[in-house]
Structure 1
Amino acid sequence: MALVPPLLVVAALLAPPLGSGAGRLHPVVLVPGYGSNQLEAMLTAGYEPSAPACAAADEQGWFQLWPNHTATRDASQVPCFADQMSLVYDTGADDYRDADGVATRVPFFGSARALIGWDQVVRQLEGMGYRDGETLLAAPYDFRYAVAPPGHPSAVGGRYFRDLGRLIQASRLSQGRPAVVVAHSFGCALTYQFLLSRPLPWRRRYVHHVVFLGSALGGFAPGMQVLSAGMDYGLPGVSRPAMLRLARSQQSALWRLPTPLVFGDRPLAVTGGATYTARNMSGFLDAIGFHEGVRPYETRVLPMWEALPAPMVPVTSVIGVGVRTPETYVFGTDGFEGEPEVVYGDGDGDINLVSLAAIEAWAGVEGQAMEVVRLPGVHHAGFFSVDFAVERVVDEIYKAGGSVELDRTS
């Protein structure tokens, strides 16, 4: 997996001289959530089509893997998408990789044109004077991957962290101000771990403020159901085996699981013979038949979320509340293959409130500036579609940028 063009934007950022307004704005770096940027793929000689319809694709060079409009229109392409979108966990290498014969890349790194669903926020920021590729940057990534704790390889995630660091550094060199980093959903988890991976002097020099939108640093209960039932990406006619492979093969899927630190002993999945909590997640993975997920979960995920130390750069957390959110899944006689009864609680529709609010404890940490904004009735994706939520997000980005006077109507 590669980022393309490979940091060409960084070279461009270094070109404009300071002065004539270049340093007027704190550069803004946008880190999207899961599925909120494009992925491209190319099939190589090692690709073995699982269906006849997939064979023709190996002659077309690079193509758009996500969003996959072809599979939406043509059901015969759904098995191809499932094959090409899935990852492989190499137990010998202790790392994840693309499926055999599939190469992937992330286009438009550095540019907001890479993002999906951020249009209203981007337009408002551009109306305030931000310019794409200069003061407004984006750091898309392959959302199927994540990173790993020290001692465990993570080729794709590690490369993304290096590229993100270079982008943030280059933005300061170009604009003369440290960056405001704005992240959503899974992007919050990656941004948080990125900050912890950098020395504190680096964070304070290059990161002016972080704005988290719908952060889920403690995981969320629906993440368990995705691993149990699979995911279809909104495509028609995806078989259950393909849905399970799409969900379980991805490194990032295990990051969705509720963490013991945040969820403790809350019942999350209940069957006739067992109750599963965040403290027994390995047992849950075994129970749903995802035995191969236990090792990477215990060695590559749990160690990263045993604690939530404050990042020691100013943080604004914007969350939606008051939306019915799955909290506990109760399975009947059909077990995990049946449709569960859902017990609901508070949250943003996707993320449980206990996880959204976990970072609010940072407000009590000496030296950690922290602001919390709760938006009643706003769904997890509503930051980009509900007018008053979009306005509030843009306002918080403006505030995070400091005292620079901006004209929002220009």
Structure 2
Amino acid sequence: MVLAPALLVVAALLAQPLGSRSGDDAGAANLHPVVLVPGYGSDQLEAMLTAAYEPPAPACAGSADQGWFPLWPNHTAMRDASQVPCFADQMSLVYDAGADDYRNADGVATRTPFFGSARALIGWDRLVQQLEGMGYRDGETLHAAPYDFRYAVAPPGHPSAVGDRYFRDLGRLIQESRLIHGRPAIVVAHSFGCALTYQLLLSRPLPWRRRYVKHVVLLGPALGGFAHGMRLLSAGMDYGLPNVPRPAMLRMARTQQSALWRLPTPLVFGDRPLAMTSAAAYSARNVSAFLEAIGFQEGVRPYLTRVLPMWEALPPPMVPVTSVVGFGVSTPETYVFGADGLEGEAEVLYGDGDGEINMVSLAAVERWSEVEGQVLKVVRLRGVHHDGFFSIDFALNSTLAEISEAGESVIEQIGIVSCQQKCSDY
């Protein structure tokens, strides 16, 4: 039986890394397999150009024998400005309105290497090393499920070739982990990976979830979108590259299927103003008007038919969940635009969150506390940025502690664990 929520204040977190706790063969034999689902841009992406590719500039023409090359991360474009248009062109997708699905640009083939292995991940090194110190072995009891983060999935009745294939692969990986080791898997997801993991669980029958998934650990879940998602669509994305022209930034931001998943949802954000001009205010309830106002009319249909239906409700997954979130970090909450309108610079009004995801979205999972039978634990870490779970010692240790606890026993009550001391001591 699920108990009522309680607030537990932790005076100090772990002093030593958990990797020192175990590592012997006997302990490793008792481990539940762990499947890691990364966030946006946290795994590698490779591309290959075919004869159908029409380069936007001479420097973008690939040779016939070039084969597969790194598309993300793209260190070549960082060093050579002539490659920036190539990266922008090859990174963009096409929404085929007739087929009602997304695809790569003509002549561009992509793949995510190392599926099943932690070698695929970017920025997870310290967490992976600590898990290995606990006895996990990459490709055996420790797996990663990289994906082409430009894509997402779609609701029933709408095709999503890439997303559906990923869900088949991820579901098979989780299922085979149980069949091989005789123990259900612990799924650890971060950021956009949390949204995908959640939707995967909802897409599977409840008996499947309970048989193959022991516990889900969500790191920085944004199950209600975030305010900065609107700004990314109005201003574009440069992926950290220098001197990216605005048209290229907008194309990369707006053509990707996953871009619309960043938008704040009405269920979570309600009527609060997120973008304001002298003539209008835009909230999560009039996103379609916002998309039209920024000149992204072609995004309205896929948003209304392929994204919004998936986030009109947040039913509990009915498997044990631990949500680990940062808080107390200034996070963009409202963008106030001046005379240049939505295309110009904006004054940013900040609120609580993890620096990227607003607190209202991070806390969306807490509504599951009222559902009988749903096991939920929330861990709040003061001062931890959205990516801090992999770099800040106390946040990393807290994450490892939750994974370890998930493997030892089912959490029998809902609680909010809030770190209030030494949380800004990086």
> Is the contact made by 1:322 and 1:376 (CA closer than 8 Å) also made in structure 2?
yes
Cα drift, residue 403 of structure 1: 4.9
Cα distance 1:380–1:57, how it changes in 2: closer, same or farther (>3 A)?
A: farther
Matched, 1:361 2:383: no
Residue identity in the other structure for 1:108: F
CA distance in 2, matches of 1:88, 1:337: 23
Q: Secondary structure at the match of 1:233?
A: coil
Q: 1:107 aligns with which of 110, 113, 137?
A: 113
Deviation at 1:174, TM superposition (A): 1.1
Shift of 1:360: 0.7
Query: SS at the partner of 1:357?
Result: helix
Residue 213 of structure 1 corresponds to: 219
Which 5+ residue runs of structure 1 have no aligned equivalent?
Answer: 1-18, 405-410
Alignment match, 2:189? 183
Counterpart residue type for residue 318 of structure 1: V
**Counterpart in the other structure of 1:228:** 234
- Given the alignment of the two structures, is residue 145 of structure 1 paired with residue 151 of structure 2, yes or no? yes
Aligned residues: 386
Q: Give the ranges of 4+ consecutive aligned residues of structure 1 lying more than 3 Å apart after TM superposition.
A: 19-23, 56-59
**Residues 23, 177 of structure 1: 8 Å contact kept:** no
Alignment deviations for residues 200-240 of structure 1 (CA, whole Å, 9 cap, x no partner): 00000000000000000000000000000000000011100
Aligned residue in 2 for 1:246: 252
Q: How far off is 1:22 after superposition?
A: 6.9
Q: Give distance in 2, aligned partners of 1:403 and 1:358.
A: 25
8 A Cα contact 1:189 1:216, kept in partner: yes
Q: CA RMSD in A?
A: 1.2
The answer to whether the Cα contact below 8 Å between 1:221 and 1:328 also exists between their aligned partners in 2 is: yes
Structure 2 residue aligned with 1:281: 287
| Cα distance in structure 2, aligned partners of 1:52 and 1:159 | 34
Is 1:171 matched with 2:177? Answer: yes
Unpaired runs of 5+ residues, structure 2, are 1-24, 411-426
TM-score normalised per structure 2: 0.89
1:272-351 paired onto structure 2 within 5 Å: 272-351=278-357
Aligned-partner Cα distance in 2 for 1:136–1:162:
19
Match of 2:267 in 1: 261
How far apart, in 2, do the equivalents of 1:260 and 1:20 lie? 49
State the partner residue of 1:407.
none
Match of residue 67, structure 2, among 33, 54, 61: 61
Match of 2:422? none
1:42-73 alpha-carbon deviations (Å, 9 max, x no partner)? 00010001001011455411001000011001
Q: Distance in 1 between matches of 2:371 and 2:390?
A: 31
Residue 383 (structure 1) shift: 0.6
Q: Distance in 2 between matches of 1:58 and 1:357?
A: 50
Query: Any conservation in 2 of the 1:266–1:278 contact (CA below 8 Å)?
Result: yes
Could you tell me whether the CA contact under 8 Å between 2:237 and 2:249 is conserved in 1? Answer: yes
Matched, 1:40 2:56: no
1:363 Cα deviation (Å)?
1.3
| Alignment-mate amino acid for residue 200 of structure 2 | F
% same residue: 81
Query: How far apart are residue 368 of structure 1 and its match?
Result: 0.3
In structure 2, the CA distance between the partners of 1:68 and 1:57, relative to structure 1 (3 Å rule), is farther
Instruction: State how far apart, in whole Å, the 1-side matches of 2:57 and 2:341 are.
Output: 31
Partners in 2 of 1:277 and 1:357 — Cα distance?
19
The Cα offsets for residues 330-360 of structure 1, whole Å up to 9 and x where unpaired, read as 0000111211000000000000000000111
Task: Report if the CA contact (8 A) 2:27-2:135 is conserved.
Answer: no
Alpha-carbon distance in structure 1 between the residues aligned to 2:82 and 2:263: 32
In structure 1, what residue type is equivalent to 2:143? L
Q: What SS does the aligned partner of 2:408 have?
A: coil
Match of 1:155 in 2: 161
Q: What does 1:362-381 correspond to in 2, within 5 Å?
A: 362-381=368-387
Cα-to-partner distance string for 1:348-391 (whole Å, 9 max, x where unaligned): 00000000001111111100000000000000011111111011
Deviations 1:286-341 (A, max 9, x none): 00000000000000000000000000000000000000000000000011121100
